[in-house]
Amino acid sequence: MRPSLLLLLLLMGAEIAFGDTHKAVLTLEPNWTQIFVGETISLTCSTEGEDADEDDEAYYCWYKTDKEGGEAREIVQWTKDKSHTISSSVETDSGTYTCKISNDGSYSKSNAISLTVKEGIPRPVLSSDREPVFTGNTVTLRCDMGQSTGWRFYWYRNTQTSDPVAQADGNSYSIISDKVSDGGQYWCRARRGDPVYHTQYSDAVEIKVTVNPKAVATPLSNWTNIFIGETLALRCDIQGEEHNDWQYSWDKNRTSLEYQWQNYTIYFALESHSGDYSCRGTQRRDSQTSEISEAVRVTVSEKPNPVLRGPSQTWLTEGDSVTLSCEVRGSTTGWRFHWYKTAPYSPELVYVLHENRRYYLQLVSDSISGAGGSYTLSPAALRHTGVYVCRAERGEPAYHTEFSQPQPLWVTGLSPPSSVVVSPNTTQHFTLDSLSLSCERSGNSTGWRLMWFSKWTVRDLCPSAWTSETGSTCSRRSASSSDGGVYWCQSESGEKSNPVNITVHNGDVILESPTHPVTEGDPLTLRCRYRYKPSNISADFYKDGTLLQTSTTGEMTIPAVSESHEGVYRCRNPEKGESPESWVTVRVSVSDSGYSKLAVVGAVVGVMIIFIIGTTLSLMYCFKKKKASPGPQTPLPGQQQQNPSHSPDQSLSAGHEASVYDAINTAERYEEDDATAGPSDVTYSTIDQKSTSENVKRKKQKRGGGQPEPEIFYSELKAVKTAGEEEAEQSEPTYAQVIGKKVKGTERV
C-alpha cells in the first residue's frame, strides 16, 4: 500500500475517534427558544465526553440558517470564543443556529437550535377561574405568556403603579377571599433575563367578592326527635340561590356521608342514626362551596308507649262528663291520636299483645279524626262502659306508636235496662267460697249476656272453670282470685247494665259492701268479715284513706247517705288483717231531688204569702178600730194631743181639764181560740179620763193666773197574760182606746 493512502486512512480514523469522544454541543443561555425583540440571548458551543477538557487551542465556527430555509451560512468565522451573544435582538435574528469545533485539525459539528424572535413587547393575558367569588372561597388568577418560558410574574391590585401584591415564578396567583373588600381590579406583568426584560401590563380583571350563601338543613317534618322504625328526611337549601346550580354534600358529626343529593332520608331509623347533621353546597360551574349549615340534631329513641290519663276515679254516674288525654312523652309534635275500646274477638279487629296474650281492640267511631290528644265523653252513658286505650301516629307513611296502658271507665245508670245479680250480694268474696252472677231484667232476659273484664280483655263467656247455666248466668262453687273483675250485662243491640266490680280475696278479711249504687237518703251498712269463725270481728273503717269509725261489732252504718259518702272504703283489724278496697257509689234519685227542690221553693213562697196576708189583715184591723173610736187617739209618751180646731187655751177656757191616765186593765178574753192568736194579737183597753179642780188650779197658778195647759199623766199598763202569750211578752205592743167622760162643769172631749 502506498504511504500517502495509509496517512489518509489514519487521519480519517483520528477524526472519527474525535467525533465520538469530543462531540460539539450547542446550548442557549437562557434556554429560551422564543424571545422578543430587544431581549439578549447567548449561544454556547462546547464539547462533551468523559475526556473532554477545555482546549485553549480549539476553534469555533458559527452557522445560521434563516427561518425561510436555504443553506447554512457562516456568520462567525473561526474564533477562540465559544459563545455567541445576540444583544437587543431583532426579528431577523430568528433562524437555526449550529457550531463547529476544530481541535488539532479535527472537526465536530454541533446540534441545531432554532431561535424565534417575536416582534413587539409582549402583553400577558390575565384570567380568573371563577366569577363572582364567594367569601371563604379561593379565586386563582392566571398570567399567560404563551409558549415562552423563564418569566417571573408580578401581581398588582387596584393600581398599576402600586407595589406588587405578590410575585412568583409560576404564572398563577390564588386569593383567599375572606371578606368582600378583597375584591377589586387586578393586573399582572412578567420579566426575565439579565439585563431584565419587562413585558407590558396585562389588561385588568375585575374580581367581585360577594357574601358566601349559607346552606340550611331543614327536616321535612316538624320534628327531629324520632323513634326506632320511623322515617326522617332532611333537605339542604342554599339561601338565595337556584337549586339547579348546586350539588350537595352531607356530614354527620363532621364526618362526610358521601351523599350528594339535596334530600337526605333515613328510611328506618335506628339508635345509631342519632347525631348532628349538616350540609353544604358546591356550585356546578366553578366548584365554589357554600357556608356549611347549622347542625340539625337527630335523636332516635325506643318506640314509644303513649301515656293515657283519665280520672282518678273510674266509676262514673250516667250524665257525668269525663275527658281522657293521650300523650307521647318527650315528643309533642305532629301526632294524631286514635282511641280504642277492648272488645270480644272479631276477625276485623286489631289486636295488641300483652303478657303473651292477644287483646282485641275496636276503634271508637267518633274518634277517627283524632287530631287532638283528648277524648271527651259528655254526657257519659251506660254504653260508654269499657276499657279504653289510645295510640298515636304521624308522618307519611304513617308511623304508629305502641298502644297505651288500659283505662277502664265504668258508668252506672239511673235506670239501667238490666242489672247484674250477685250471690252473695257483696262486692268482695273469699277464695274457695261459692259465687254466682246472673243478668236480671224485668220481663224477658233473653238476648242478654254476662260480660266480664279482667286485666286487659273483655269476654262474653264465663271465666274458666265456671258453670254456665245460660248465657246470662255464671256460677262457681269454689272461686279463685283470678275470677275477680268487672261484670255487666249486655244485650245483642249493645245496651248495658250497671257494671259490678267483684273482688275475690285470698286473705282473711273482706269488706261486705253493696254491689249496686246506694240511693241518697237510704241507709248504708258495711261489715268487716273474717274468713273463720267467728266471722264478726272488731274493725277500723276507712274512707279514702281516712279513719271514720272503730267498731267492736265489725259493722258500720250510715243512717242516710249523701253524695259526700261516695268513695273508697276498707276495713282493718290489727290482728286479723286488712280487706281490699271497694268503691261505694251514691246515686241521687231524680224524683227525690225534684221533690226536695219543689218543697224548698214551696215552703219559702208559702211563708212569704202568709207573712204578707197576716201583716195586711193586722193593719186593716187596726185602721178599722181607730176609725170607730169616738175620741181622739192617745198620743205616745212625749207627744201632745191637741184638737186641731182649738188652741190649748181655748180648751181650758171651755172647761177642759188635764188628762189623767189611770190603770189600764186588759179586757177579758171570752173565746178559747183567742188565746192562741200568737204574739201579733192586739190588746185594747178602756181609759177613763177624770178632771180635778186641784189640777186646774195648780196649772193656773204656774201660768200666772191664766188658763192652765193640759197636762198628761202616765200610769202603769198591766196586761193579763193568757196561755201561749209568755213568749210574746217582751216584743208585742199593747194598744189602748181612750174614751173621754163628762165631768161636772166640763164638756166631753
Q: How does DSSP classify residue 218?
A: E
What's the pTM value of the predicted model, to 2 decimals?
A: 0.54
Which sign does the torsion angle of CA 383, 387, 393, 399 carry? negative
- pLDDT computed for residue 505 by the predictor: 94
> Which of 189, 242, 253, 249 lies closest to 213, judged by CA?
242
Beta-carbon neighbour count of residue 151 at 10 Å? 21
Q: How does DSSP classify residue 330?
A: T
Residue spans of beta strands (DSSP E) within 343-456? 350-354, 357-363, 374-377, 386-394, 399-400, 407-412, 419-423, 428-430, 435-440, 448-454
- pLDDT computed for residue 443 by the predictor: 64
End-to-end CA distance of the chain: 216
The domains of the chain, with CATH numbers, are 24-118 (2.60.40.10), 125-210 (2.60.40.10), 214-301 (2.60.40.10), 306-410 (2.60.40.10), 415-506 (2.60.40.10), 509-589 (2.60.40.10)
The count of C-alpha atoms lying within 13 angstroms of the C-alpha of 414, restricted to the half-sphere facing its C-beta, is: 11
What are the φ/ψ torsions at residue 488 (nearest 5 degrees)? -155, 165
How many angstroms separate the CA atoms of 367 and 363, rounded? 8
- Judge whether 688 and 663 are in contact, CB under 8 Å: no
The size of the chain, in residues, is: 749
Name the grid cell of 494: 249493645
- Judge whether 114 and 96 are in contact, CB under 8 Å: yes
Return the amino acid letter for 31.
N
- Judge whether 680 and 614 are in contact, CB under 8 Å: yes
Triad 572, 481, 352: Cα angle to 5°: 120
DSSP string, 516-582: SPEETTS-EEEEEEESSSS-B--EEEEETTEEEEEESSSEEEESS--GGG-EEEEEEETTTEEPPPE
- Judge whether 112 and 68 are in contact, CB under 8 Å: no
Instruction: Give the burial string for 239-254 (b: 16+ CB within 10 Å, else e).
Output: eeeeeeebebbbbbee
Q: What is the CA 349 to chain-centroid distance, rounded?
A: 32
In this structure, the dihedral spanned by the alpha carbons of residues 536, 542, 545 and 546, taken in order and rounded to 10 degrees, is -140
User: For residue 153, is it left (φ>0), alpha (ψ between -120 and 50) or beta?
Assistant: beta
Which sign does the torsion angle of CA 282, 286, 287, 288 carry? negative
Peptide bond into 424 cis (omega under 30): yes
- Judge whether 707 and 715 are in contact, CB under 8 Å: no
Q: How does DSSP classify residue 630?
A: S
Q: What is the β-pairing status of strands 419-423 and 435-440?
A: antiparallel
Residues forming a β-bridge with 536 = 529
Q: Show Cβ contacts of residue 571 under 8 Å, excluding neighbours closer than 6 positions.
A: 509, 511, 526, 528, 539, 540, 541, 542, 554, 578, 579
Return the amino acid letter for 598.
L
- Judge whether 338 and 367 are in contact, CB under 8 Å: yes
How many angstroms separate the CA atoms of 532 and 509, rounded? 9
> Which of 409, 427, 452 lies closest to 320, judged by CA?
409
Q: What is the CA 145 to chain-centroid distance, rounded?
A: 68
Return the amino acid letter for 699.
K
How many angstroms separate the CA atoms of 689 and 41, rounded? 171
Instruction: Give the burial string for 560-588 (b: 16+ CB within 10 Å, else e).
Output: ebeeebbbebbbbbeebbbbbbbebbbbb
Triad 701, 706, 709: Cα angle to 5°: 80
Name the grid cell of 264: 337526605
Q: What is the β-pairing status of strands 336-342 and 357-363?
A: antiparallel
How many angstroms separate the CA atoms of 728 and 721, rounded? 10
- pLDDT computed for residue 243 by the predictor: 72
Q: How does DSSP classify residue 289?
A: B
- pLDDT computed for residue 678 by the predictor: 41
How many angstroms separate the CA atoms of 588 and 31, rounded? 118
- pLDDT computed for residue 612 by the predictor: 86
Which sign does the torsion angle of CA 498, 499, 505, 511 carry? negative
- pLDDT computed for residue 95 by the predictor: 93
- pLDDT computed for residue 53 by the predictor: 53
User: For residue 105, is it left (φ>0), alpha (ψ between -120 and 50) or beta?
Assistant: left
> Which of 677, 709, 683, 680 lies closest to 696, judged by CA?
709
> Which of 524, 510, 503 lies closest to 571, judged by CA?
510
> Which of 262, 260, 210, 258 lies closest to 237, judged by CA?
262
Name the grid cell of 67: 427561518
Q: Show Cβ contacts of residue 564 under 8 Å, excluding neighbours closer than 6 positions.
A: none
10-residue stretch averages of pLDDT, the chain, 749 residues long: 46 46 84 91 82 69 86 86 91 92 84 92 92 88 90 92 90 89 92 92 93 93 92 92 86 91 93 96 89 95 91 86 90 88 84 76 74 84 88 90 89 82 93 90 72 70 67 84 87 84 93 92 94 92 94 94 93 94 83 47 70 82 64 44 41 38 40 41 43 45 46 44 44 45 42
